[in-house]
Amino acid sequence: MDRKQGGQSCISSGWRTFSPLTRLRVSPQAGLLLATIVLWVIFGLTTDGFLSSFNLFALGRDIALFTAIGLAQMVALSMGEMNLSVGAIGGVAAIFAGWLMQVLGVPILLTVILAILLGAGMGWFNGWLVVRTNINSFVVTLAMTGVYTGLLLIISKAQAFSNLPLQFSDFGQASVGFFSLIIFLVLVIVVLLIIFYRNSELGRWMLAVGANRRAAQFSGSKQAHCEPI
């Protein structure tokens, strides 16, 4: 047992001594990064408008939105769970924000805060159901997708909210250089998540539950508190 633990410790220590370039070369994500760079080079050389300011802005905004969705799913996957209702929750939060601004005339800042709280509350309710019912998160979130989609239709009455404040619409079109402002906000979220998982007790417990649920329970992990969050 001691020899095995010693060997694992040596391997771990040896991995930390690798240079960043070596880590990138042996990383499973390196191939995806290389393919992305190659595609950017090909499209940049063969397509006239690919590197235009408009296209870079549009690509940056799309990448930011997909990254935000991926981060929301990543939090659930880090605990060995799934959340199929991420899109529905985002839709309800967006429609709720439009309803607050257009129908009730709520200020933009307060609207954003309330929409975030609503989305967080729906996500928390998913986790609470998973913990209390002990039903697989795939089934729970799949069912709640239908519930949240129905809630979206109730709020909007199948009508789009288009009469929004100009300041709110302009924010979606704001840019820093050639890139959408939204992509920098997503980068801030990425940094905050890194800090959360590396430096907070709750973040480490969440990773522990995702890596080995039974071992985390034996070590005192508060799973019932981690999953709803």
Are 164 and 101 within 8 A, CB to CB? yes
pLDDT at 221: 59
Span 119-162, pLDDT tens digits = 999 999 998 898 888 888 899 999 999 999 888 888 887 788 88
Q: How far is CA 105 from CA 41, 45, 98, 100, 102, in A?
A: 47, 48, 10, 6, 6
For residue 176, the SS3 value is strand
Are 29 and 37 within 8 A, CB to CB? no
DSSP label of 175: E
Classify the phi-psi angles of 113: left when phi > 0, otherwise alpha if psi is within -120 to 50, otherwise beta. Answer: alpha
What is the reported pTM?
Answer: 0.73
Determine phi and psi for 179, rounding to 5 degrees: -110, 145
pLDDT(113) > 90? yes
Domain residue limits, the chain: 1-49, 52-226
The CA distance from 229 to 46, in Å, is 46
Determine phi and psi for 135, rounding to 5 degrees: -95, 145
Span 168-213, pLDDT tens digits = 888 878 888 888 888 999 999 999 999 999 888 888 888 887 777 7
Span 27-63, pLDDT tens digits = 777 777 788 889 989 988 888 888 888 888 888 888 8
Supply 168's token pair.
């709110």
| Angle between helical axes of 86-99 and 137-156 (0-180°, round to 10) | 20
